[in-house]
Amino acid sequence: MNYTFFLLLLTLVHSTFSSLAPTDQAALESIRDSLTDMPGSAFFSTWDFTTPDPCSTFAGLTCTSLGRVSALSLGPNLSGSLSPSISNLTHLTQLVLYPGLVTGPLPPRFDTLPLLRVISLTRNRLTGPIPNSFSSLSYLHTLDLSYNQLSGSLPPFLTTLPRLKVLVLASNRFSDNVKPVSSPLLHLDLKMNQISGQLPPLFPTTLQYLSLAGNSISGTINPLEPLTDLTYIDLSMNRFTGAIPQSLFGSTTTSMFLQRNNFTSINATSLLMLPQGSVVDLSHNSISGELPPSLAGAESLFLNNNRFTGEIPEEYIKSLINGTTETLFLQHNYLTRFPWNSGSQLPDSVSLCLSYNCMDTDPVVGLSTCPIEVAPLLSRPAIQCSRFYNHSSTG
């Protein structure tokens, strides 16, 4: 008798605390109607609305003890559109859409989802702007809308959300300029958009990852000078000018990609200490002056296609010989001497390119291992070198 009573009680508890709330079930039915499994996908095969407990049987679904949907992960390999009924899942803390072919706009009403902490809707074909209702998401920690076809200006409210740590809008069609950032961001990725203008005056000093690559941003990068905790920075393929601040060459920066801009100088002293295994790419700029000895500690160093002059510092040679630096590209500059000791030997793992400079080629024949796309000429024509140095001395 006691055992029967226990089973009855267990059934009542399961029914009370696991069955899906009617409002959430209606929302899920609408979401299901707006999406379709692509060929080869069977994500929705478990979504049987006749089952007594969708919370324990539906793929991608997590519920609270009261039968409210708290996390929804859809896909991968779905097509269709995102139903506005998502806004009826008012206890949602996490919304994920895995890669697929989902099209159309973002649901307009996110202000009804105050508990959301994670939104990740990546690698689909979503279009249109980011709804203004995102401004109410005060608990949002992570927003990733990358690799879609979203457009419009970057909303100013996104970078002021009080708890936002990760913002990834890469590879969309956002335009206008980068808005002032007051959110305590750790990770900001806006690469491959249509962003223009100049950088805002301030960024959060909490930033550890910053990518603005593949836009049309101009001006100096002085606003980034206080960011001493950066480990990864990619500003490549923009229109930045001026000097590269010394603070960016910090002890934490393991990856620096500033290639294909219009930088003209480097503020780097001999006191710098690049972390072991770091990658620094400053190629395809207009940087002039002598090579900074402090960059010799990078594992991969790309300084090619600039306007560097003078001798290559001894520190670079030592770093090559001891294996600290494995890739050193200095081609297409105006360097005059590679102080190589004929008794020294480079490790087999080293890739060194010195082509198209103003130096005597005899010491470097057999050492230079340039990529295949580099012109085979070892030296610049003498007339180019004399004109460049004469102009520099009279300028």
> Is position 343 within any domain?
yes
Chain segment 150-174, per-residue pLDDT in tens? 999 999 999 999 999 999 999 999 9
Q: Would you state the structure tokens that stand for residue 172, as one six-digit string?
A: 């969309």
Please check whether residue 239 is in contact with residue 217, taking contact to mean a CB–CB distance below 8 angstroms. Answer: yes
Please tell me whether residues 82 and 141 are part of one structural domain.
no
Please tell me whether residues 65 and 206 are part of one structural domain.
no
Please tell me whether residues 73 and 127 are part of one structural domain.
no
Please tell me whether residues 95 and 132 are part of one structural domain.
no
Chain segment 96-130, per-residue pLDDT in tens? 999 999 999 999 999 999 999 999 999 999 999 99
Helix (H) or strand (E) holding 126: strand 125-128
Q: Determine how many CB atoms are found less than 10 A away from the CB of residue 46.
A: 13
Which of these ranges, 83-97, 179-193, 282-296, 339-353, has the smallest mean pLDDT? 339-353
Note the pLDDT of residue 365.
58
Please tell me whether residues 242 and 279 are part of one structural domain.
yes
Please tell me whether residues 210 and 139 are part of one structural domain.
yes
Task: Report the C-alpha gap between 246 and 218 in whole angstroms.
Answer: 19
Instruction: Write out the DSSP string of 169-232.
Output: --SSEEES-PPP--S--SEEE--SS---SB--S---TT--EEE--SS--EE--GGGTT-TT-SE
> Is position 177 within any domain?
yes
User: What does pLDDT average to over the chain?
Assistant: 91
Please tell me whether residues 71 and 133 are part of one structural domain.
no
pTM of the model: 0.92
Please tell me whether residues 303 and 269 are part of one structural domain.
yes
Note the pLDDT of residue 15.
40
Please tell me whether residues 300 and 197 are part of one structural domain.
yes
Higher pLDDT, 125 or 1: 125
Please tell me whether residues 142 and 186 are part of one structural domain.
yes
Q: Which domain holds residue 276?
A: 122-388
> Is position 254 within any domain?
yes
Q: Would you state the structure tokens that stand for residue 128, as one six-digit string?
A: 């249109």
Chain segment 227-283, per-residue pLDDT in tens? 999 999 999 999 999 999 998 988 899 999 999 999 999 987 666 778 889 999 999
> Is position 111 within any domain?
no
User: Left (φ > 0), alpha (ψ -120 to 50) or beta: where does 214 sit?
Assistant: left
Number of domains present in the structure of the chain: 2
> Is position 238 within any domain?
yes
Q: What are phi and psi of 312, to 5 degrees?
A: -75, 125
Please tell me whether residues 180 and 56 are part of one structural domain.
no
Task: Report the C-alpha gap between 312 and 367 in whole angstroms.
Answer: 15
Which of these ranges, 13-22, 78-87, 137-146, has the smallest mean pLDDT? 13-22
> Is position 333 within any domain?
yes
**What CATH number is given to the structural domain containing 180?**
3.80.10.10
Cis bond before residue 76 (omega within 30° of 0): yes
- Give the C-alpha distances (Å, rounded to integers) separating 342 from 32, 326, 363, 368: 72, 19, 8, 14
Q: Would you state the structure tokens that stand for residue 130, as one six-digit string?
A: 């980011």
Note the pLDDT of residue 14.
41
Please check whether residue 88 is in contact with residue 111, taking contact to mean a CB–CB distance below 8 angstroms. Answer: no
> Is position 49 within any domain?
yes
CA angle 144–96–170, rounded 5-degree value: 20
User: What is residue 23's three-state secondary structure?
Assistant: helix
Please tell me whether residues 65 and 150 are part of one structural domain.
no
> Is position 55 within any domain?
yes
